[in-house]
Structure 1
């Protein structure tokens, strides 16, 4: 999130409240691990490290949507909303632990990923067994711990709310978790498919964008905030109309940063998405343009290079140049603009009061106009 918009997360006790809830969770986990065995202490350290680096973007969308639908700072529901924000952050941590294992990512937010850290510790300790399998297993368990914690935090958030409000909010949270899991599977499936029909390639890529990232990054947090405020069905539908196109634009920006971003800012090596074989809209558009132009050489370079784990810096540079030269980068930028236009038109159509309206507009800009 751009520095100029970081204040949106700091206002009205938002960051402090969410971080306090997360700190309570880490302290409780540390005590539990210590009581079970000293050998379990690294689990709490790894969860704390993952939670420390988040932008709190999802929590901010949830909070300011709550404010937009009648929530008042300091009222009886504020703590519930802040705890719901913490639950969103814990769920994101769970998804990142698991995602890094499935993608075999080496860094996250500029730090070694958990499975790499645990594998290195295994290797340094001259232990028995395969270090990589140990690291992967530990990271999967870390994701499970964060997932359990997110459920616990949401349960506590909803405990004292009116039953109808709690029921709707819990349903939103449950749908989000299911969709992300299904989206993660669709991502795995897409990476196993041979390149073929450009329209089908893009359809798969858009399905992954919506299920795995768009809804859980923006749409569901905005809907959850409205639900916690007791918003009616029409208001919730309006949140979905804002959140889905904005969430898609958010993920498309992420895809561009994965190829063109500065590693010192993104915290990930340039080209990781290409080595991992991510079937993004960006790559699908490049293949479609190269195919339409009859450029068999470009098609061959793209289909053989994307997904090559041994791709070196020169190979990444070649693929990146093709993504630009085919016009795919420009087309994805245009698609981001179109999705943002749709999302901002939907915000304009809502009767959200200030300061929530301006906060959500600024958050929307921060989500898509970012360098990390």
Structure 2
């Protein structure tokens, strides 16, 4: 039997180890408590039902760039650690949808909506919405718990896993702190550019790019110089990735993004795009544009025509152009930091390609 070619088809290998883990992780509890089966099935479907697998990809290529050998004895264990990031991602998304009262994700009902419907269809006692919220919290918690199980159970020497622990611990803390900062900013109404960027760096950049790169490098035993270069690249690239998502959240095609256009506005997200729109409307002396943007933030019933008005205002005051410029600057600085890391090939080229692809998605 030939050795697996991890580099050539990394997403398929990530999918494989996730499916293997999820197939066995819930077996014992389902035998004793079959009532939890639908929750486990929902989590399995959520994890295996789509996603770009960006986090495992960044971790893998950082490992390769720092000297990891795909033909060596550690490759399968590293793949398992990298894939565990998808369970952390599942926790974040399920809880994020709950906190944002989102109805759809990847073109399907969100977990809390699906379980509220399950309750209503069965005619159970109490509130369907409350049941859906509780189920989503617990399913997200299960994803977080299983991410740790998958990480800790990876077939790697104890000293290798121990070297990766600081990145793993920091990433989990940072994403949860970023989630709280996000809801806190929505509650306080802080629409400053500074607040938006703090959320982007903590909530998105840290666990999407920065810490996955750190994790992969640590698994390869990278030195401090290399880790620092990857952390710098990951911070800027992660923010650029989020800024592109912010633009897609307002201007994107729902058939591509999997969410209705304008949902970030309806959910009250104080993104950099919105912050710059408000600030530049004021600086340009355009009270109408400022009012159009401000009135849309947090309006759960925002119509498609109102979203169109916001789009026009954001373009006219220069906010879209400013965000695009910021994306270009951050991508450039991230690529420069990757150059200083002096990563081994083919990882250096793959990470540069990934950086460009992740930040230059079209509407």
Q: Please report the TM-score for the alignment, with normalisation by the length of structure 2.
A: 0.95
Aligned length, in residue pairs: 358
* Alignment partners' CA distance in 2, 1:225 and 1:160: 13
Provide the rounded CA distance (Å) in 1 between the counterparts of 2:104 and 2:28.
Answer: 28
CA distance in 2 between partners of 1:85 and 1:67 (Å) = 12
Write the deviation string for residues 290-326 of structure 1: whole angstroms up to 9, x where unpaired.
1112222222222222111111111111112111111
Partners of 1:286 and 1:326 within 8 A in 2: yes
Q: Deviations over 1:269-307 (max 9, x none)?
A: 011000001000000000001111222222222222211
Partner of 1:352: 343
2:289: which partner in 1? 298
- Within the alignment, does 1:171 sit opposite 2:166 as a pair? yes
- Residue deviations 1:153-205, cap 9 Å, x none? 11112x63252x4333111011001011010011001111235xx6xx11110
Q: Secondary structure of the equivalent of 2:149?
A: helix
| 1:206 paired residue number | 197
Cα distance between partner residues in 2 of 1:13 and 1:319? 41
1:42 equivalent in structure 2: 38
Match of 1:250 in 2: 241
1:75 Cα deviation after fit: 0.9
Give structure 1 regions of 4+ aligned residues with deviation exceeding 3 angstroms: 9-13
**Counterpart position of 2:16:** 20
Conserved in 1, the CA contact under 8 Å of 2:60 and 2:78? Answer: yes
Shift of 1:10: 6.8
Matched, 1:88 2:79: no
Deviates more, 1:354-363 or 1:14-23: 14-23
What pairs with 1:1-372 in structure 2 (closer than 5 Å)?
11-12=7-8, 14-52=10-48, 53-157=50-154, 160-163=156-159, 165-194=160-189, 201-371=192-362
**In structure 2, C-alpha distance between the alignment counterparts of 1:320 and 1:331, rounded to whole Å:** 14
2:7 counterpart SS class: helix
Distance 1:32 1:211 in 2: 36
For 1:3, the equivalent position in structure 2 comes to none
- Give 1:17 shift: 3.1
Partner of 1:5: none
Distance in 2 of aligned mates of 1:355 and 1:24: 28
The whole-number CA distance in structure 2 between the counterparts of 1:37 and 1:153 is 22
Q: Which runs of 5+ in 1 are unaligned?
A: 1-8
Pair 340,137 (structure 1): closer, same or farther in 2 beyond 3 Å: same
Report the Cα distance in structure 2 between the residues aligned to 1:11 and 1:369, rounded to whole angstroms.
23
Specify the SS of the correspondent of 2:301: coil
Unaligned runs of at least 5 residues, structure 2: none
Cα shift readout 1:209-229 (whole Å, capped 9, x = no counterpart): 000001110111111111000
